[in-house]
Structures are given as structure tokens and as C-alpha cells.
């Protein structure tokens, strides 16, 4: 039987692109001989990693700057400033208040408070800055008390448009305290004498190496009483009340948030989340508000190592170099 099929030519060799890692052998065009792929230098991968880290760091820094400066697409932001711990320096919080107060994209500010108070002057300075931002920048400022909002911290909160606190928050402690450490017995034990030359009868009042005289006691009491009057008056002004109504509550004691509501020291029971949503709605923000916070400042290891070491190892002599202090603080 005759085969009617014509002979077929051999199949063409596959194109070189289909054989990754192969190359033609000049002595034998087909089939191809195997040639292992070139190994990439580890420095290439290291460079890629370093560039990636640099890009991510730049993006993170930009986002932080955007959050702190208010540079963002959204014009419906709520700024949150934390008031934590003992209040000794007003500059940090005042700066944050000014920055957010002048930022048109920030519609309101929440002071998230968890503090027993602190220095009388520092607390008073923040109080007046809150009032200024409210009046000059027409910015709503709300206080949200977490665990403690007492004394100087309550002083600051009273300047706000509204105060929120949890049922079990500690609120109040309207009062003034002056204190210092008397180390006279220690000096006598160590056979040391404090030598002071002064002009003016009360110039060395509060000398911690001796007891106060009756005249010095009356002198310091007059200063404390004056600061107490300022405290009561400023709280009454901030709470739209009168000195006569606040003074019975200004015994230095604290109340729970639940008790404080009935006393008129706060406006509403609720935590930070409730304060945030209520504040957003009050300034016309619907949905989830966009929250911005000040950029956090962290000290680098280099700055710590190149500092004078006072942060890590305080000089014991500083304990003997403290002047009497006046505090709006719950202890």
C-alpha cells in the first residue's frame, strides 16, 4: 500500500527567548547548551533595602508633618492635645494650642486630660491661652477628663466650652498648696550651717534650713489666699458661674465624675469617644472625624549621650536648691 502523506520537514528550533538561562553553542547550533544565570551582587539587594527604608522614612515624616501642621486634604479635623502628668511647663501646650487655633482645617480642639495639676503659674497660663484661642480664633475647645482632672488640670478644663468626664473620673480639688522640704535637722546632724546675708526682713522667708517665724507664716498664707481667690474667680468665669457658688466647692477635695455633674463642675458624663463624636457633630462634621495630634518629639540616643546627664543622673545638690513652690495640685 502506497503512503499518500508527503514527508514533513523537521520542526524549527525554539526561539532563544523561550529558554531563559540558555545560549546557543557556536559549535552546535541545536540543541542549546545550558549556561547558569549570572548571580546578582549582594550589594544590589542591600541598596534596594536601604532605598526602601529611606522612602518609607520620608513618607512617615511627611505624614507626621501633615498631621502636626494640619496640611491635609480634609478640612474637617478635630485636634487632640494630651495634658498628662504634672503640669510644670506651659510652653509646650500653649504652642500646640496656638498652632491648631490658627489652622483653618481644624474645626475644634479636645484637651485630653489625665493630670493631678501642677504649678500655679503654669496652669494659669494655659487657662488664659485656652480662653484666647476660643475668643480670637473662634475655635471650640472641649475638655475630656480621663482618670484625673484635678486642681490645676481642672483649672485648665474650666476654660473650655464643655467638660466631659467618666463616672469614676476624679474631678475638682480647687485649692492652693505651698510646700518645700525643710532639711534643717539633716544639716544639724551633718554639722553644717546655712549662712545667709540679706537686706529686707522677709528676704530669706522660706529658708528650708530652719522653721518659719509667725510673720513668715502669715506672709506666705497671704500669698496662698490671693492665689486661691484667683483660682475660684477664674473657675467661676470659665463655668459661667459666680465666685459665691464656686467657693463652697473650693475646699481642695475631689469628686467623682458622677458627683461633679450634679455639682455643676462638668457638663456631661462620657469618655473620650463620646466627647470626640459630640464635638464633631457640634461643629458640623458628619461621619467619622479626622483626628490630628501634635507631632511627637523623641530624644535620640545621641542627644541623650551628648547632654549634661541631668536627665539620667540628677545632681544630688539640686535637692538642696529648691525654692518654695506654689501649686494647684491634688496630692
**Active site residues per annotation:** 151, 203
The torsion angles phi and psi of 63, rounded to 5 degrees, stand at -65, -40
> Which contacts of 252-256 are long-range, i.e. CB under 8 A and separated by 24 or more positions?
252/173, 252/174, 252/175, 252/177, 252/330, 253/172, 253/173, 254/150, 254/170, 254/171, 254/172, 254/173, 254/330, 255/170, 255/171, 255/172, 256/167, 256/168, 256/169, 256/170, 256/171
**Backbone φ, ψ for residue 34 (5° rounding):** -80, 135
Would you say how long the chain is, in residues?
Answer: 331
Q: What is the C-alpha to C-alpha distance for residues 94 and 191, in angstroms, rounded to an integer?
A: 46
What single-letter DSSP state applies at residue 249? Answer: G
Nearest-CA neighbor of 89 among 147, 144, 132, 129?
129
Alpha carbons 304 and 18: distance in angstroms, whole number: 60
Grid cell of 145 as nine digits: 477628663
Helix (H) or strand (E) holding 279: helix 272-282
Give the integer Cα–Cα distance in Å for 61 and 50: 16
End-to-end alpha carbon distance in the chain: 116
The CA-atom distances, in angstroms, between 285 and each of 83, 97, 104, 282 are: 24, 20, 14, 7
Helix ranges, 35-174 (H): 42-69, 91-101, 120-136, 152-157
Amino acid at each position: 500500500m502506497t503512503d499518500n502523506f508527503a514527508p514533513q520537514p523537521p520542526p524549527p528550533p525554539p526561539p532563544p527567548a523561550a529558554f531563559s538561562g540558555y545560549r546557543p553553542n557556536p559549535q552546535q547550533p541545536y540543541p542549546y547548551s545550558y549556561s547558569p544565570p549570572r548571580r546578582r551582587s549582594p550589594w544590589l539587594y542591600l541598596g534596594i533595602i536601604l532605598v526602601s527604608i529611606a522612602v518609607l522614612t520620608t513618607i512617615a515624616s511627611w505624614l507626621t508633618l501633615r498631621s502636626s501642621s494640619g496640611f491635609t486634604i480634609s478640612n474637617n479635623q478635630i485636634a487632640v492635645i494630651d495634658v498628662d502628668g504634672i503640669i510644670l511647663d506651659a510652653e509646650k501646650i500653649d504652642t500646640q494650642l496656638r498652632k491648631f487655633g490658627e489652622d483653618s482645617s481644624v474645626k475644634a480642639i479636645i484637651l485630653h486630660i489625665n493630670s493631678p495639676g501642677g504649678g500655679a503659674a503654669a496652669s494659669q497660663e494655659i487657662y488664659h491661652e485656652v480662653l484666647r484661642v476660643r475668643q480670637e480664633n473662634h475655635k471650640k475647645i472641649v475638655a475630656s477628663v480621663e482618670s484625673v482632672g484635678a486642681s490645676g488640670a481642672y483649672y485648665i478644663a474650666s476654660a473650655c466650652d464643655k467638660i466631659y468626664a467618666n463616672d469614676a473620673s476624679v474631678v475638682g480639688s480647687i485649692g492652693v498648696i505651698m510646700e518645700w522640704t525643710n532639711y534643717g535637722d539633716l544639716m544639724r546632724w551633718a554639722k553644717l550651717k546655712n549662712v545667709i546675708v540679706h537686706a529686707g526682713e522677709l528676704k530669706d522667708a522660706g529658708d528650708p534650713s530652719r522653721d518659719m517665724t509667725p510673720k513668715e507664716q502669715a506672709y506666705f498664707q497671704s500669698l496662698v489666699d490671693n492665689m486661691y481667690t484667683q483660682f475660684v474667680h477664674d473657675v467661676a468665669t470659665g463655668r459661667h458661674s459666680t465666685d459665691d457658688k464656686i467657693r463652697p466647692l473650693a475646699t481642695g477635695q475631689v469628686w467623682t465624675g458622677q458627683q461633679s455633674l450634679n455639682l455643676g463642675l462638668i457638663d456631661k458624663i462620657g469618655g473620650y469617644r463620646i466627647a470626640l463624636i459630640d464635638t464633631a457633630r457640634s461643629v458640623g462634621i458628619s461621619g467619622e472625624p479626622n483626628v490630628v495630634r501634635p507631632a511627637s518629639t523623641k530624644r535620640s540616643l545621641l542627644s541623650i549621650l551628648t547632654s549634661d546627664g541631668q536627665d539620667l543622673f540628677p545632681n544630688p545638690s539640686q535637692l538642696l536648691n529648691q525654692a518654695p513652690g506654689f501649686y494647684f495640685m491634688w496630692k
